[in-house]
Structure 1
C-alpha cells in the first residue's frame, strides 16, 4: 500500500506506508547526494594549457540581463551563428548583473537561462553557481540525458541515474526531501543546445512524480512548474537552441554570458602565460590586437596562449593572425604530451570534410556516420571533437549510431572547414561554393580563415587564390557598413602583398553606426587609413563606442597623406583621453563634428587648434556642457576656426571669446550659440564683435526684446543685414 501526500501547489507524491515527509533521515540522505554532486562539479576551465585548477584565478564573464523572449531578440538568432557573431549587439536592451546576484535573481524569477556563444564560460558559470550559498544546487548535464524513448520517473532523472553509487534507500529519501523542500533547491541544467531531444512542441502534463515520462516531458514539467513548482530552475544554452522553447515554458530571466571583463581577462591571461605574460601582452597589443580581444572568451584565451608559447612560435618573430594561431596550435597539440588522439597531420582532410559537411548543413552537431564515412573514429579525433552520449537504456547500454559529436570549440569546426575548402575541395565544387564563402554571414568566420590560408604566398594553388580574391574584392566594394568592418578584420589575416587591391578600392566615404570600436576593430580600420593614398572625404562614427580605439584612429588620420574633409563623431562615447586623441589629427581634418559626445573639458584639443597653420573649416561642440570655461578655451584658438557651433553648451558668457575675435580681427563665417542661457548680460560682448561674424545663430536664447533692439541697432550702425543674427 502507498499513501498519497500533497506537498503543496496541488502536487502529489506517493510515499510507501510508514514513511513520513518530516523524517530527519531524509535530510541526511539529501546531504549525501549534495556532497556526491559537489565532487562532480569542480569547475574545470583549462583545456590545452597545462595549469592546475587550484592555480586558475576565479574570474567571471560579464553577465547581461537581456530581453530575449520579449521583443528584444534579433532575427539573426534564427540562423546558424558563426562564432565571430557578437551576441550582445543582437539585443535591443540589456543591463549588467554581478555574478554574486545571479542565484538570487534566478530564485526570484524561478526559471533562468544563461545563454551565450561557445567557449564564453556558461558551463563554468553554472558549476560555480552550484557552489554558491543560499540554495541547495544540484548540477546536471543535458548531454548526459540521452535516454531516447525510455520513460523515467522524476526521481530516476534527478537522483537515481545520476548517483548510482549511492544506496537505493538513500536515493529514495533524498528525492523525498527534495520534493518537499523544493523552495530551498536549485536545479541547474547545463547545455540545452547539446541535448539529443528538444522541448519544441512539448507541453506540461498533469502527472505524479512517479509517473514514467520521456525526459523532455519531465523537463517541460519542471520548466512549467507542474513538478517542483517552488524550485529554482536554471538552463545554460547557446542562444539559437532557446528559440524553440514553447512560450509557456520560457524562462522569465535570460542572462547573456558575454566577454570576460578587462580585469578578469588580464588576470586569467597572466595566470596562463606565466613569466611570458608581459611580453605576450605587449606583442598582442601592438601587432595583433584582434588576438588580445579574442582572449576575452575563456576558451579562445587558452588556445591563443598555448599557440603563443609553443616551440614553433618561439622560432618566429611574433604571432599575428588567427589563422596562424590555429595552425600553430594544431601542430602543438599533435606533438604535445597532453594529446590524446592521433597526429592530426594525417587526418586534416578527413576532419575537414566532416566539418565542411556540418557547416553546409548549418549545424554544429555530427553523427557517427559522419565520422566513419571518412574513416575516423571517436578515439582518433578526441583532441578536437567531443562525443555526446546517445540513448541510454536501463543498463546504460549505448546503441551504435546514437551518439552525437561536436567540435570542442566552434572555431575548430570553422578552421577545419576552411582548410578543407582551400586544400581538398575540387575546383568545380570550390567555384560552386565560392560566392557563399565570400559573402554569406553564416560563413563569415570560415571566410576569415580562408583569407588567412588562401591569400598567402605559401599557398600552393594560385588559381584558387585568385578566384577567391576576385570574389572577395567584389563583395568588399559593395559591402554594407557592418559587412565592411568585418571584411577589414578578415583582411588582417592577409599578407601585405595581397592587400594593395583592397587599399586602392578603399571608399572615400566611410560610415559606421552603433558599433563598439575596441582595439581590434580600430587596428583593422587604421591599417587601411595609413596605407591609402586617396583623400578620404568623410569618416563618420555615429553613436559608436570609441573608448579604446579612438587614439589609434586619430593617429592614423593624422598620418594620412591627404587631408580629410569631415570627421564626424556625433553621439559617440569617446573616453577620457578623447581630446588628447583628437589633438593628434586636427591638423589633418577640415571639419570636426563632436555633437552630443558628453564632453566636459576640451583641452588639449583647443591647444592643438591654436597651432594650426591654416584654419579648419568647422568645429562643432554642440550638445556638450563645456560651459564658460570651454568658451574661454575656444577664445584661445578661435582665430583658426571658420565656423564654430557650440549649441546647448550651458554657456552664459562669451566675453573672452568675443574679445579674441576682435583682437585677431578674425572673420568667423558662423557662430552658433543657440539653446545657451546667454541672456542680456552677455549681449555687450556679442555686439562688440558683430562686424567680424557673418552669421550668428541664437535660437531659444533668453534675450529680452530690449536686447534684440540693441542688436538690430548695432547691425544698422554697421550697415549689415538684419538676417546676420538669427533668433
Structure 2
C-alpha cells in the first residue's frame, strides 16, 4: 500500500482535534470537529492600550476582534521586556481557534471554518544563514521532507484569506530587516530570512493573509514605512488592583503585609509589578526574605533572584554555581552581540558548560526535531527563562570588562537599541557601590565617569522619543542624583506610558535640578497614570497638572 503523505493528509483528511494541537514551539492547526473553546480572557483586566491616532485604551475583550476580525491585515503587539507579549500571542491564537469554530453547533465540512490554517511561529528559533525558500521559512520543523513544506506553502498561497500567521518576537530575530527596505521577491524565490519577512510585512507576499506580530517597540518603529503595521496594540501592564490580587495569591501568608511594605518602601517596584514577569520575581523575593527591604531597582531585583537561586539547597552543582554563572555571563553577552536568544549544545561547550550544569538556570527544548516532539530524539536548544535575564547576565559581563574594552564597547554598542535593556542593567550595577558578590567591577570610578559622559552626550544629541525613554529608564536605574540633576527637559510625547514609565518620568522630573520642561502631549494618559506622575512630583513646586494638559 502506498504511503499517504502529509500533503495528501492535509488535502483530504482532517484529524479530529479536541483543544489545541501543539508541536512544541512551532504550531500549525487544522480543524475538523467543532470544539467550542471558552474565552479565557478576563474582560475586567483592561491592561491593553491600542496605539492608534486617538491613543485609546481597549480591554482584552477587544483584542481578538482587533487582531483577527478587523479589516487591517497586520496587527502588532508591542511592549517592554516581561510584559506578557508571548503569553498574549498564544492566548490570541487559542481564541482564534475558538472563533474559527463558532456560529454553528455542528460542522459538516472544514469549508465552514472561518480560518483553516492558524500558524504560530516563535522567531527566536528561526536561525537561518544564507538563502532559503519562503516555504521553508514558514513551515520549517513541521514536516519530514521538503515536498510537504512546498505543498503546505502552495495551499497557503491558494487560500490566503483562510489563514492567520502569528510571528512572536520580531525583536529576537538573528537577522534584521533593513531600515531603508529590501528587494521584492516572487512567491517562489529563494532569499534571506530578513528579505522574506520584509516581503510578508510589506504585503508583497501573502497580501490577503492576516498577520499578527509581537515585538519590543523599538523594532517595530525601526521598520521601513511600507512594512510597519497599520494597527499597534501596546501592553501597558496589569491594573494595580489585579497586580495586588495576583501578588497576594502568590505569597499566600502575609501577602497583604508584603504588598504594603512594597508600596511604602519601593514605589518604583509597586508600579513595576504591573509587568507580569517582575510581579512573579518580586513575589519570589518577598516570600523568601519577608523581613528584608524590597529591591528598589530592576538590577537589585535580579541580583536578589540570582542570590536566592544560588542558595537553594537542592540545586544541582551548588558548589560550582558561581563559576557557572560567570560562564553564563559570557555566553549571554555573546548571544546579545550575535542577536541570539537561543543556544545550542555546541554553544555550551564553547563556553565551558555542560547541559547538566545549566538545567536549573536555562530552559531546553528539542532542536530541529520538532515534528516528533520526542525529547529523546535529536539535539536540544537552550534559552534563558526570560530575555531580560540574558540581558542582565550580559550586563554583568560588560561591567567586568577591562577599562579599555569597556570604553570601546560603550562607545560602539551600548547606545544602540539592541542593548537598551543591557544599558539599564549596566547603569544599575556600575553606579551602585553596595557590596555585590555577583559582580567584580574593576576601575569602577573611571567606568562611572565614562558612562556619565556618554549619557550626557546622548541627552543632548538624540531626540528620538523611544531612545530617550530608554535613556530615562537607564538614568533612573543608576540611582545617581548627580546624573538625574543633569536632565533639563523630559519629552515623552507620543509614547503610551506604562505605570512603570510614568513613575520614572515623574521621579526624574522631581529629582532634576534644572528642569525646564515636561512634555507629555499626545500621550494616552488616564487618571491612574496621571496620578502616578503627579504623585512623584508632589515634593516639587510645579504648576498643577490635570487631564486638560494632555491630549
Structure 2 residue aligned with 1:114: 77
After TM superposition, the structure 1 = structure 2 runs for residues 399-410 of structure 1, keeping only pairs within 5 Å, are: 407-410=384-387
Residue aligned with 2:256, SS: helix
- Pair 1:477–1:520, CA change in 2 (3 A): closer
Structure 2 residue aligned with 1:319: 295
Separation (CA, whole Å) in 2 of partners of 1:227 and 1:435? 39
Structure 1 residue aligned with 2:443: 464
Separation (CA, whole Å) in 1 of partners of 2:205 and 2:452? 57
- Asked if structure 1 preserves the Cα contact closer than 8 Å seen for 2:330 and 2:394, the reply is yes
- Asked if structure 1 preserves the Cα contact closer than 8 Å seen for 2:169 and 2:215, the reply is yes
- Pair 1:245–1:451, CA change in 2 (3 A): closer
Separation (CA, whole Å) in 1 of partners of 2:156 and 2:403? 61
Pick which of 445-454 and 98-107 moved more: 445-454
Separation (CA, whole Å) in 1 of partners of 2:426 and 2:121? 35
Residue 376 in structure 1 maps to residue 353 in structure 2: yes
Residue aligned with 1:188, SS: strand
- Pair 1:57–1:381, CA change in 2 (3 A): farther
1:300 positional shift: 2.2
Residue 277 in structure 1 maps to residue 255 in structure 2: yes
- Pair 1:472–1:154, CA change in 2 (3 A): closer
Match among 291, 298, 304 for residue 269 of structure 2:
291
1:540 positional shift: 4.4
Residue aligned with 1:380, SS: helix
Q: Deviations over 1:102-152 (max 9, x none)?
A: 333333223333333332212211221123242247342335566878978
- Pair 1:162–1:272, CA change in 2 (3 A): farther
Structure 2 residue aligned with 1:140: 120
Which structure has more relative contact order (CA 8 Å, sep 6+)? It is 2
Separation (CA, whole Å) in 2 of partners of 1:475 and 1:220? 34
Residue 191 in structure 1 maps to residue 175 in structure 2: no
After TM superposition, the structure 1 = structure 2 runs for residues 700-715 of structure 1, keeping only pairs within 5 Å, are: none
Q: Deviations over 1:6-34 (max 9, x none)?
A: xxxxxxxxx98xx998xxxx5xx546257
Residue aligned with 1:275, SS: coil
- Asked if structure 2 preserves the Cα contact closer than 8 Å seen for 1:519 and 1:548, the reply is yes
1:375 positional shift: 0.5
Residue aligned with 2:243, SS: helix
1:292 positional shift: 2.3
Match among 55, 61, 67 for residue 100 of structure 1:
61
Residue aligned with 2:252, SS: helix
- Pair 1:183–1:267, CA change in 2 (3 A): farther
Structure 2 residue aligned with 1:589: none
Residue 425 in structure 1 maps to residue 375 in structure 2: no
- Asked if structure 2 preserves the Cα contact closer than 8 Å seen for 1:519 and 1:549, the reply is yes
Separation (CA, whole Å) in 2 of partners of 1:434 and 1:150? 33
Separation (CA, whole Å) in 1 of partners of 2:163 and 2:217? 25
Q: Deviations over 1:230-285 (max 9, x none)?
A: 55332333455557877776644333344334444344333333334322322222
1:330 positional shift: 0.9
Separation (CA, whole Å) in 2 of partners of 1:463 and 1:156? 45
Match among 14, 37, 40 for residue 21 of structure 2:
37
Residue aligned with 1:134, SS: helix
- Pair 1:217–1:303, CA change in 2 (3 A): same
Residue aligned with 1:458, SS: coil
Residue aligned with 2:357, SS: coil
1:61 positional shift: 7.1
- Asked if structure 2 preserves the Cα contact closer than 8 Å seen for 1:109 and 1:253, the reply is yes
Pick which of 386-395 and 57-66 moved more: 386-395
Q: Deviations over 1:482-513 (max 9, x none)?
A: 58854651243x6xxxx6xx39x946x95434
Residue aligned with 2:86, SS: helix
- Pair 1:119–1:139, CA change in 2 (3 A): farther
Separation (CA, whole Å) in 1 of partners of 2:532 and 2:192? 51
Residue aligned with 1:138, SS: strand
- Asked if structure 1 preserves the Cα contact closer than 8 Å seen for 2:218 and 2:417, the reply is no
- Asked if structure 2 preserves the Cα contact closer than 8 Å seen for 1:365 and 1:405, the reply is yes
Match among 264, 268, 273 for residue 246 of structure 2:
268
Structure 2 residue aligned with 1:696: none
Separation (CA, whole Å) in 1 of partners of 2:392 and 2:436? 16
Separation (CA, whole Å) in 2 of partners of 1:433 and 1:199? 24
Separation (CA, whole Å) in 2 of partners of 1:315 and 1:442? 37
After TM superposition, the structure 1 = structure 2 runs for residues 586-597 of structure 1, keeping only pairs within 5 Å, are: 597=549
Separation (CA, whole Å) in 1 of partners of 2:242 and 2:449? 42
Structure 1 residue aligned with 2:532: 548
Residue 205 in structure 1 maps to residue 183 in structure 2: no
Separation (CA, whole Å) in 2 of partners of 1:298 and 1:20? 38
- Asked if structure 2 preserves the Cα contact closer than 8 Å seen for 1:30 and 1:174, the reply is no
Q: Deviations over 1:574-609 (max 9, x none)?
A: 36xxxxxxxxxxxxxxxxxxxx648xxxxxxxxxxx
After TM superposition, the structure 1 = structure 2 runs for residues 15-414 of structure 1, keeping only pairs within 5 Å, are: 29-30=13-14, 32=16, 35-37=19-21, 58=42, 62-66=47-51, 94-105=55-66, 106-107=68-69, 108-132=71-95, 133-135=98-100, 136=115, 138-143=118-123, 162=142, 183=161, 185-194=163-172, 201=182, 203=184, 205-206=186-187, 231-239=209-217, 251-310=229-288, 313-314=289-290, 316-336=292-312, 344-359=321-336, 370-386=347-363, 407-414=384-391
When Rg is computed on C-alpha atoms for both structures, the one with the higher figure is 1
Residue aligned with 2:94, SS: coil
Separation (CA, whole Å) in 1 of partners of 2:152 and 2:244? 42
Scaled by the length of structure 2, what TM-score is found?
0.65
Separation (CA, whole Å) in 2 of partners of 1:367 and 1:138? 28
Separation (CA, whole Å) in 2 of partners of 1:175 and 1:155? 9
What is the aligned-residue RMSD (CA, Å)?
A: 5.5
Q: Deviations over 1:517-568 (max 9, x none)?
A: 7345444555x48xxxxxx6876434476422323422x23xxxxxx6xx34
Residue aligned with 1:347, SS: helix
- Pair 1:308–1:205, CA change in 2 (3 A): same
1:329 positional shift: 0.6
Pick which of 544-553 and 178-187 moved more: 178-187
Separation (CA, whole Å) in 1 of partners of 2:244 and 2:93? 25
Separation (CA, whole Å) in 1 of partners of 2:207 and 2:492? 42
